Amino acid sequence: MSKIRITKQFSFETGHALYGYDGKCKNVHGHSYKLSVTVIGTPISNVENAKFGMVIDFSDLKKIVKDEIVDVFDHATVFNKNTPHVELAEMLKVRGHSVLLVDYQPTSEMMVIDFAEKIKKHLPDAIQLHSLKLQETDTSFAEWYASDN
Ligand SMILES: Nc1nc2c(c(=O)[nH]1)N=C([C@H](O)[C@H](O)COP(=O)(O)OP(=O)(O)OP(=O)(O)O)CN2
Ligand SMILES: [Zn+2]
């Protein structure tokens, strides 16, 4: 049976700031991120299986990405926990704002690496993560490919 790639697309609104960056993105600002998740596998060939003909049910893939990424990052502001932005994050948190402290600079490159690790952990054994595309703006995106890593 042929190997097939399937893709599901997601979107979420997230704030961030690039501490130490030499441009306007050092300021707290936000993006309407778009994430495309592509997995690869062989369509299930057992007619008795409710998922017959599917690599993975799109809704199962959706649940993984929603639980691990979309619901965590949507309407949160992401800061690098290794910078003085931790103080700002704490102030926002105590006032009830949704803040995420991550162990990396929250560029699209580093976020897509984080997302790849999170998704891989939850995929069934027979399915591999093929690639991710994280679009920060209409003109800027980062891609992760299993074949590159
Ligand atoms: N390699 C990277 N460069 C930049 C990142 C990033 O994640 N990786 N992020 C930013 C900012 O957070 C922000 O996304 C600005 O990006 P930019 O494409 O420069 O946005 P603009 O609106 O200025 O772009 P247009 O050219 O007007 O579409 C900065 N760099
Ligand atoms: Zn940005």
Closest CA to 35 of 126, 114, 124: 114
pLDDT digits (tens, 9 = 90+) for 1-45: 899 999 999 999 999 999 999 999 999 999 999 999 999 999 999
ipTM above 0.85, yes or no: yes
The domains of the chain are located at: 4-148
pLDDT of residue 1: 80
pLDDT of residue 90: 96
Please give the Cα distance from 55 to 58 (Å, whole number).
Answer: 9
Q: Which tokens hold the place of 9?
A: 């697309």
CB 109 less than 6 A from any atom of ligand 1: yes
pLDDT digits (tens, 9 = 90+) for 79-120: 999 999 999 999 999 999 999 999 999 999 999 999 999 999
Percentage above 70 pLDDT, the chain: 100
Instruction: Compute, in angstroms, the gap from residue 16 CA to the centroid of ligand 2.
Output: 6
Global pTM value = 0.96
What's 4-148's CATH class? alpha beta
Would you name the residues annotated as active-site residues? 25, 75, 136
**Cβ(39)–Cβ(61) under 8 Å?**
yes
CB 32 less than 6 A from any atom of ligand 1: no
Residue from 140, 143, 144 to probe ligand 1 pocket by mutation (most atoms less than 8 Å from CB) = 140
Instruction: Compute, in angstroms, the gap from residue 46 CA to the centroid of ligand 1.
Output: 47
pLDDT digits (tens, 9 = 90+) for 45-69: 999 999 999 999 999 999 999 999 9
